[in-house]
Structure 1
Amino acid sequence: MPDGTESESRKLLVRLRDTLAEGGAGQERLDKITHLIASSMLTEVCSIYLFRDDDTLELCATEGLKAESVHQTRLRLGEGLVGRVAKTTQIVNTADAPSERGFRYMPETGEEAYSSFLGVPIQRLGETLGVLVVQSKEARQFSSDEVYALEVVAMVLAEMAELGAFVGDGAALKALHQQPVLFRGTVGQEGTAEGHIWLHEPRVVVTNPVAEDPQAETERLRDAVNELRYSVDQMLSVAEGGDADHVQVLEAYKMFANSKGWLRRMEEDISRGLSAEAAVEKEQSIARSRMARSTDAYLRERLNDLDDLSNRLLRILTGQGSDTGAEMPDDPVLVARNIGPAELLDYGRRLKGVILEEGSVGSHAAIVARALAIPLVVHARNITTEALNGNHVLLDGDQGVVHLRPDENVVKAFRDQMAMQAQAQERYASIRDLPAETLCGRRISLTMNAGLMADLPSLPTSGAEGVGLFRTELQFLVRNKMPKRAELSALYGRVLDAADGQPVVFRTLDIGSDKVLPYMKPNDEPNPALGWRAIRVGLDKPGVLRMQLQALIRAANGRPLSVMFPFIAQMDEFTVARQEIDKAMAREERLGHVLPSELKIGTMLETPSLAFAPQAFFEQVDFVSIGGNDLKQFFFAADRENERVRRRYDTLNVSFLSFLEGIVNRCRTTGTPLSFCGEDAGRPIEALCLAAIGLQSLSMRPASIGPVKHLLRRTNLGELYSVISEARESGVQSVRPAVMEYLAKAAIPTAN
């Protein structure tokens, strides 16, 4: 590119803007753009590759390569230099392309004559749309100014693609935000929902990526940054003297907002031709790219702060604040990159479903979604970029699938599925008040999991015989400071009131791992699921545990009380925890408070080690509840947050079933009541097998009680146990096929 690159860069962007403003179809515009870039940068070749699907790039326009290769030449992600740029989002700048690692010669394009290669990703806020390439016969590396010029052009192309400037023939020239899109994520909370998208943070649309007047754009940016700094200062002044961690976050915000380097880089972007908004987005994209590659937790957190500040600055510049004028639909399905538990609770039961781009199966949001019985899919990659407010959406939380803007065939099939589920629920309602008694006369106790007061109305309508697990951590997670003992006591008292005499098992605070309190200093642990969590935190920091135990005793107010400790791994942990209850009871008695009429102290069995505890442990514990979710991941050494392995191992695996039966036998020997709590308890086939090997009590989400009871009442557990035993003796890996064959022969329906 000639000297005076800054002005030439600005001239190129202005010419690009004018070209995009002209009429014509998407293909015609792309052809003009490649000609414009090649002539401006004095290169023989300019090519634009766009994604036709998640794994394939398609040559959509070129100046210099063979015209017949357009829409015919395709590359897999990572294939060739173009595929390498797309996969790594890293620029490739080489004077000798054929000798470069990963080079792939494509004879149909006629590119063998070109030695120099410069490829930059076409991306917007972390989403890669394609690759922009220039090539020349002269063997040379492109200068930093030329690289920068091509980067900003690629960014403008991404912005214009977002606005639908390149729709046309060819699979890659599809209309953004108009076509049906299928997202495959991870199940966060089961259930199905149909509704319309409500974006938690509506995307800012940049309609003017090219600066008309750089000086005016610079002034706009400075004014917006000053407004941002003022708003951060205001937030900080309100927070002063309050929660220290909250103040620390705002201090980090202030540091970034006042960063001279951040402002200088954005002003340089404007001087080279970008608008203020586009300059902010360019720096934001760089931060997101670094965030995606970083393994340092602290750095990722700081880059996330910068990302949030960039969003705030964009909303100031565009006027697209949180109040966009859009009205929440009557059937909202919330879409967000991530969301905190308090924010999700603010939406409450108005939501039909929740779809998160990030999140995790055990995240705070997932816990709240389960408590509210709202279907949730996490890890729906790029959903926030693709979805628009008001888009029609189908959410299948049972399979972790999202259909955005579905076609009529998909809608019809989905609605048929939902209708069948509704009919099944009506059948379940007819057996709501009947016991879960099997054909062989065994009666299984079915209880529900809960974590919020909002769950308790489900108790009488679900057919549950009580609350087998009340998660007490939610009251801690949704606040920005530690709740007081009196607040907890009042809440626990209302839970017991709502249960109306039915048993409630309170699990003490289960924090750590992926459940970090907002006001608790996070610990950067290499494997938090195996780290400082649950009872380990309670015993090392006994103040909170004691406060919670005192609140539970006061809440009982003369009624029966059941308390369960989480994540006990060995006998002495339970012994010490039980001593804390004894101390709390003695203290409350001294203070004149009414003690529980009956106190039962139990434990979650979530680690294989506890199954082999001394006999004395099973004799002193009042009850045991198998925490199936954690126990299974530790038994199989398969992280339940890792989609590659979480479904790899079957609950009905012979080894796991035999291990569970060993726990059943140990508890039977000592007469210790035993239950099973977890996702598998609510899956009818798994629940049936758990009951067959001797479990007398199962705790699950309220919606699962009907299906589980329906199947139990139609099954002879003695016959089923014989089938399981024969399958185990035959040497199979899982008893599932044999169980399904038995149910089919017995004409026992296993589906809705």
Structure 2
Amino acid sequence: MPERIETDSRKLLGRLRDTMAEDAAGQARLDKIVHLIASSMQTEVCSIYLFRDAETLELCATEGLDAEAVHQTRMRLGEGLVGRAARTRHVINTADAPSEKGFRYMPETGEERYSSFCGVPIQRLGNALGVLVVQSKAARQFSSDEVYALEVVAMVLAEMTELGAFVGEGAALSARHQQPILFRGSTAQEGATEGQVYLHEPRVVVTNPIADDPETELTRLREAVDTLRISVDEMLSTTTTVNAEQVQVLEAYRMFANSRSWMRRMEEDVQSGLSAEAAVEKEQSLARSRMQSAGDAYLRDRLHDLDDLSNRLLRILTGQGKETGAEMPENPVLVARNIGPGELLEYGKTLRGIVLEEGSVGSHAAIVARAWAIPLVIHAKNITADALNGDTILVDGDQGIAHLRPDENVQNAFRDKIAMQARAQERYASIRDLPATSKCGTTISLQMNAGLMADLPSLPSSGAEGVGLFRTELQFLVRNQMPKRAELSALYQRVMDAADGKRVVFRTLDIGSDKVLPYMTPQDEPNPAMGWRAIRVGLDKPGILRMQLQALIRAANGRPLTVMFPFIAQLQEFRDAKAEMQKALDREIKLGHPAPSDIKIGAMLETPSLAFAPDVFFDEVDFLSIGGNDLKQFFFAADRENERVRRRYDTLNVSFLSFLRQVVERCERAGKPLSFCGEDAGRPVEAICLAAMGIKNLSMRPASIGPVKHILRKIDLSEARAVIDKACNDGEQSVRSAITHWLANQ
């Protein structure tokens, strides 16, 4: 960087710092800043546009344009050159602005007199806050050094905006972290809750964006980078023997940590007048911006690595590590970009809800949220940038939305909804010990899904008759190494003890797809949901399956044992899995361990192919359980992680119900029990239809048992079946409308 530009940049930042230190209102500060920048850059115009809402920019200060246009001139995101710079988050630098595509003439500002235009996005960590603009009458393109100086100033403006230095009247100058925001995401676990934000990784706050002494800042930066490199090397040395895939990721980390170009850019930023922290964040913001526009998945992953390294470096520089985070509030709602099962379980059941920027409906977080029966919203884009620890947040898992800092009207309406749900749960308590017997005399067995020891206390209070599905994969997912057989046996024994004689259906390890063990090499598969997962892994890695079966036999200790194999697609897979059970049983008996007094071995029907298995399969299996979530996505060829298609297909579609009817009939002919596990079993309307189709066992989350039992006891299932049959015969695509109308008249 030329010495003159470097000196001028430092002088300008020094004058900016003095302006910030003055006791002045936000508008007065902005007015001084645009005057300083215009005189320093020797341009006739300097303007600052800030977002007043997600789609609208507002002129908040100007030197050179008509003063009356301030807070009056607005434009949509993408409109004009200013809007384009904000939307693309790229610098627009032109010597002939009026001839540029998308140029917008704004007569109220008088800008038609100016030819040259340079718009620099004001952004922080990929979040656009506004645009800094300089213009001049002379037709010239601003030099790369001048553009760089403007980027440095824009970085400081972003930090000052984040810290509330420009708060004033009007939406664009309102405190950024005081405005109510609605986040529309996706439902991963239903339910509604109110609480306070608790950030999994609190945002690093840069309070000193402008450096007093560049040499001191350079030393701080270099020492922090050295510390970062050592920590990455240490991670690499401890991970080498565990997982080759993790080693590749950390090697990429090390490559970035030792990147000369990254270091050179940050050093130039410091020499221009930024603090070490602001220099790191400036380059991180540019990386985030590139990440959002990168079409190549590999490049996005690498930029994500750089983003993560920048966060680590910022925590080293500021000392704002996790251990210095805010104290957990009384009603915490966890907010994070994403989170693993081990980290989530460390928080315990104190959490009221979870909101993630990423995640999936079948992710580890979703499994734990379902086990804890707390609402989970995923795909809440940018919430970690807008939320602060302690902010009020309303989580509506039913609709997949989160209200951050809601206004009083929204809060009151939401509290009414929660109160209604609480009153309903009180009503359900009165029928807890009564059977789910319909008016026609049909009794449906209602059971609960579980996956943690913490779930088991819900068994007696929920009114469940047993555990229809115990997911065993969580004990594998939350560890950094394979659990030992003795550990699993002790856990399974505690589960059986807690069930106190009620049946527990243990599903063997269901990993793969989006549930990848941290100590197993992930398989690079184009469609992992249909790839190497569940029983396919167990049969290809029989040592793991056998160890788990041995642990279950020991845990039973002579009591009855029920085991279910997941994702069985054909007869031979079931036979092979059953043979592994026999091998495990023979070995345990040989070692002197008591055999279970009774063993029931079942299969999960999650692929349509199993419904068409030979009759001998239905003769050999002890029971069958429909895995509704997976079966539905394969039946409709609709990825359950794809929001565009997963809601397009209805469980009560007549084609799907006809398919279920065939399964029911085959199980009835073979005299084998059939159950339905999945979210749909816990939804009252769906539960009625499943029961009317002849499925006598439903397994759901504990909180759903009350509502389902309540409605089953009110209706006649034979009448419901007649309504379903009529809708099918009438050529309806779904029976939902007909069954809902019938229910309304009960």
What's the TM-score bracket when you normalise by the shorter of the two chains?
over 0.9
Distance 2:64 2:570 in 1: 71
Q: Does 1:651 align with 2:660?
A: no
**SS in structure 2 opposite 1:128?**
strand
Distance 1:622 1:101 in 2: 70
**SS in structure 2 opposite 1:644?**
helix
Q: Deviations over 1:625-665 (max 9, x none)?
A: 11111122222232222233322222222222222222222
**Partner amino acid, structure 1, of 2:10:** R
Moved more, 712-721 or 281-290: 281-290
Q: Does 1:503 align with 2:503?
A: yes
- 1:449 alignment partner in structure 2: 449
Q: Retained in 2: the 8 A contact 1:97–1:116? A: yes
**SS in structure 1 opposite 2:646?**
coil
1:238 shift after superposition: 6.2
Q: Retained in 1: the 8 A contact 2:245–2:522? A: no
Q: Retained in 1: the 8 A contact 2:438–2:715? A: yes
Distance 1:250 1:124 in 2: 26
Q: Retained in 2: the 8 A contact 1:218–1:276? A: yes
Moved more, 309-318 or 517-526: 309-318
- 2:70 alignment partner in structure 1: 70
1:259 shift after superposition: 3.8
The count of residues paired between Structure 1 and Structure 2 equals 746
1:102 shift after superposition: 4.3
1:29 shift after superposition: 2.7
1:538 shift after superposition: 1.9
Q: Residues 353 and 161 from structure 1, CA distance in 2 versus in 1: closer, same or farther, beyond 3 angstroms?
A: same
Q: Does 1:744 align with 2:724?
A: no
- 2:30 alignment partner in structure 1: 30
**Partner amino acid, structure 2, of 1:688:** I
Which blocks of at least 5 consecutive residues in structure 1 are unaligned? Answer: 747-752
**SS in structure 2 opposite 1:551?**
helix
- 2:667 alignment partner in structure 1: 667
Distance 2:141 2:466 in 1: 72
Distance 1:233 1:303 in 2: 20
Q: Retained in 1: the 8 A contact 2:242–2:519? A: no
Matches within 5 A, 1:395-544: 395-544=395-544
- 2:689 alignment partner in structure 1: 689
- 2:727 alignment partner in structure 1: 727
Distance 1:612 1:239 in 2: 46
Matches within 5 A, 1:175-324: 175-232=175-232, 252-294=252-294, 299-324=299-324
1:90 shift after superposition: 2.6
Distance 2:325 2:670 in 1: 64
Q: Residues 549 and 196 from structure 1, CA distance in 2 versus in 1: closer, same or farther, beyond 3 angstroms?
A: same
Matches within 5 A, 1:514-593: 514-593=514-593
1:396 shift after superposition: 1.9
Q: Residues 639 and 46 from structure 1, CA distance in 2 versus in 1: closer, same or farther, beyond 3 angstroms?
A: farther
Q: CA RMSD in A?
A: 2.5
Matches within 5 A, 1:293-372: 293-294=293-294, 299-324=299-324, 326-372=326-372
Moved more, 683-692 or 391-400: 391-400
Which blocks of at least 5 consecutive residues in structure 2 are unaligned? Answer: none
**SS in structure 2 opposite 1:739?**
helix
- 1:699 alignment partner in structure 2: 699
**Partner amino acid, structure 1, of 2:650:** D
- 1:91 alignment partner in structure 2: 91
- 2:168 alignment partner in structure 1: 168
1:415 shift after superposition: 1.9
Q: Residues 735 and 606 from structure 1, CA distance in 2 versus in 1: closer, same or farther, beyond 3 angstroms?
A: same
TM-score, with length taken from structure 1: 0.93
- 1:633 alignment partner in structure 2: 633
- 1:749 alignment partner in structure 2: none
1:219 shift after superposition: 1.4
**Partner amino acid, structure 2, of 1:557:** N
Moved more, 552-561 or 225-234: 225-234
**Partner amino acid, structure 1, of 2:582:** D
1:581 shift after superposition: 2.0
Distance 2:665 2:80 in 1: 60
Q: Residues 736 and 118 from structure 1, CA distance in 2 versus in 1: closer, same or farther, beyond 3 angstroms?
A: same
**SS in structure 1 opposite 2:613?**
coil
- 2:120 alignment partner in structure 1: 120
- 1:750 alignment partner in structure 2: none
Q: Deviations over 1:265-313 (max 9, x none)?
A: 2111101121111011112223333433446665545444433332232
Q: Residues 251 and 430 from structure 1, CA distance in 2 versus in 1: closer, same or farther, beyond 3 angstroms?
A: same
**Partner amino acid, structure 1, of 2:672:** T
Q: Retained in 1: the 8 A contact 2:458–2:702? A: yes
Q: Retained in 1: the 8 A contact 2:235–2:250? A: yes
Distance 1:176 1:563 in 2: 54
Q: Retained in 2: the 8 A contact 1:297–1:524? A: no
Q: Deviations over 1:696-715 (max 9, x none)?
A: 11110001001100110001
Moved more, 101-110 or 703-712: 101-110
**SS in structure 1 opposite 2:445?**
strand
Q: Residues 296 and 476 from structure 1, CA distance in 2 versus in 1: closer, same or farther, beyond 3 angstroms?
A: farther
Q: Deviations over 1:500-550 (max 9, x none)?
A: 111111111111111111111122222222222222222222221222222
Moved more, 191-200 or 19-28: 19-28
Q: Residues 19 and 670 from structure 1, CA distance in 2 versus in 1: closer, same or farther, beyond 3 angstroms?
A: same
Distance 2:13 2:318 in 1: 20
Q: Retained in 1: the 8 A contact 2:46–2:133? A: yes
Q: Retained in 2: the 8 A contact 1:193–1:395? A: yes
Q: Retained in 2: the 8 A contact 1:243–1:481? A: no
1:207 shift after superposition: 1.2
**Partner amino acid, structure 1, of 2:90:** Q
Q: Deviations over 1:557-595 (max 9, x none)?
A: 222222212222233322322222222223333333322
Distance 1:717 1:558 in 2: 39
Q: Retained in 2: the 8 A contact 1:126–1:285? A: yes
**Partner amino acid, structure 2, of 1:277:** E
1:201 shift after superposition: 1.7
1:379 shift after superposition: 1.7
**Partner amino acid, structure 1, of 2:601:** I
**Partner amino acid, structure 2, of 1:438:** S
Distance 1:520 1:744 in 2: 51
Q: Residues 691 and 103 from structure 1, CA distance in 2 versus in 1: closer, same or farther, beyond 3 angstroms?
A: farther
Q: Retained in 2: the 8 A contact 1:45–1:63? A: yes
Distance 1:443 1:286 in 2: 62
Q: Deviations over 1:188-217 (max 9, x none)?
A: 222222222222222111111111211111
**SS in structure 2 opposite 1:686?**
helix
**Partner amino acid, structure 2, of 1:620:** E
Moved more, 630-639 or 64-73: 64-73
1:107 shift after superposition: 4.8
Distance 1:317 1:689 in 2: 59
Q: Retained in 1: the 8 A contact 2:243–2:521? A: no
Distance 2:322 2:96 in 1: 49
TM-score, with length taken from structure 2: 0.94
Distance 1:377 1:524 in 2: 27
Distance 1:261 1:2 in 2: 18
Distance 2:708 2:595 in 1: 36
Q: Deviations over 1:130-181 (max 9, x none)?
A: 2223333444433221221222222111111111122223322221111222
Distance 1:124 1:103 in 2: 26
1:443 shift after superposition: 0.5
Residue identity (%): 76
**SS in structure 1 opposite 2:576?**
helix
1:230 shift after superposition: 4.5
